[in-house]
């Protein structure tokens, strides 16, 4: 089920759904404050300039776009007998920039680029407010995502202390030098790096010489969730005396299983946001 958010533009409440990794804005909701209502969508899509715009958008963004059929539509547009609906446009050209949905949040939806074009056609002032409100929504979502990432990064750092304590208690002999100890800590950190990212910290730095920080600073939130679990698990395995090679295999299997689980249940991660 697509997640629905709301935009408040002047007196209109406009639904935004996220489907196929894309935001679609309700054109139907956008027409509620205009006297002609949703009938404006039909007038807009039969406009020759509109068809040229959405045709170019599909050509750029949709590899399956039926461009020959678009050429036929272009020849028909402007004649007295020409009729076009959003549903017909989608069926004839395999367009992906617009959706027609039934149900509670039913209506006609469009990718933000096309929705902004429709808003400009309705009213330049309305389009300006719509763009500002949509940007505010995306900024809020990005802020929440950053907070979640920071939380997971902090959690991973807390678990890292548990991890290093386990290393100190089980792998570092008495009277070892600080430099020797640091090599062991780095080696154990790379056990986790190899299990989760498939490369050591040094390999990542060599591959990304222009980036600041370390490999974990560029991890996805799902990876950070798994990393914090792996640190606790590795600490337990260290206390059990398991050798490094066996721990690496077990942690890698754990990382694969948990990442797959998280990616197949993205709604569970989004509830953290």
Q: How far apart are CA 225 and CA 115, in angstroms?
A: 36
Give residue 195's pLDDT band: very low, low, confident or very high (50, 70, 90): confident
CB 110 within 8 A of CB 24: yes
* Angle at which helices 48-61 and 86-93 cross, to 10°: 40
Listed residue (165, 224, 146, 170) closest to 192, CA to CA? 224
Mean pLDDT of the chain: 80
Q: How far apart are CA 111 and CA 99, in angstroms?
A: 9
Mean pLDDT of 78-88: 86
12-19/22-26 β-pairing: antiparallel
CB 139 within 8 A of CB 20: no
Q: How far apart are CA 80 and CA 223, in angstroms?
A: 58
* DSSP character at residue 215: G
Give residue 172's pLDDT band: very low, low, confident or very high (50, 70, 90): very low
12-19/3-9 β-pairing: antiparallel
Q: Which two tokens stand for residue 245?
A: 């090679």
**What is the CB neighbour count within 10 angstroms for residue 229?**
17
pLDDT at 273 over 50: no
Q: Which pLDDT value is given to residue 26?
A: 92
Mean pLDDT of 193-218: 87
3-class SS of residue 102: coil
**pTM of the predicted model, to two decimals?**
0.51
Within 62-123, where are the H helices? 67-76, 86-93, 112-122
Q: Which pLDDT value is given to residue 29?
A: 93
Question: How many residues does this entry show for the chain?
Answer: 273
3-class SS of residue 199: coil
* DSSP character at residue 95: -
**Could you tell me which residues come within 8 angstroms of residue 133 by beta carbon, excluding any fewer than 6 positions away?**
7, 8, 9
CB 95 within 8 A of CB 56: no
Please report, for the chain, the start and end positions of each structural domain, with discontinuous segments joined by +: 3-122, 142-270
Highest-pLDDT range among 88-92, 126-130, 258-262: 88-92
pLDDT at 234 over 70: yes
Structure-model confidence comparison of residues 112 and 106, the more confident one: 112
């Amino acid at each position: 089920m697509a997640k629905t958010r709301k935009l408040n533009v002047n007196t209109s409440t406009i639904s935004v759904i996220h489907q196929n990794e894309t935001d679609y804005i309700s054109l139907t909701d956008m027409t509620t404050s205009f006297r002609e209502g949703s009938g404006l969508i039909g007038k807009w899509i039969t406009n020759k300039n509109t068809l040229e715009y959405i045709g170019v958008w599909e050509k750029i963004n949709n590899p399956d776009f039926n461009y020959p059929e678009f050429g036929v539509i272009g020849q028909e547009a402007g004649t007295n007998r020409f009729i076009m609906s959003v549903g017909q446009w989608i069926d004839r050209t395999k367009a992906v920039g617009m959706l027609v949905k039934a149900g509670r949040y039913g209506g006609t939806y469009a990718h933000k680029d096309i929705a902004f074009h429709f808003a400009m056609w309705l009213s330049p002032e309305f389009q300006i407010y719509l763009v500002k409100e949509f940007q505010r929504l995306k900024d809020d979502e990005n802020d929440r995502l950053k907070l979640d990432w920071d939380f997971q990064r902090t959690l991973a750092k807390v678990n890292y202390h548990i991890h290093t304590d386990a290393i100190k208690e089980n792998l570092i002999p008495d009277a070892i030098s600080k430099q020797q100890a640091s090599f062991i800590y780095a080696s154990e950190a790379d056990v986790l790096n190899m299990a989760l990212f498939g490369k050591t910290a040094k390999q990542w730095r060599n591959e990304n010489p222009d980036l600041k920080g370390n490999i974990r600073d560029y991890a996805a939130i799902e990876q950070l969730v798994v990393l914090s679990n792996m640190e606790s698990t590795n600490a337990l395995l260290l206390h059990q005396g398991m050798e490094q090679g066996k721990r690496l295999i077990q942690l890698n299997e754990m990382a694969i299983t948990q990442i797959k689980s998280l990616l197949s249940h993205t709604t569970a991660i989004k509830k953290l946001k």
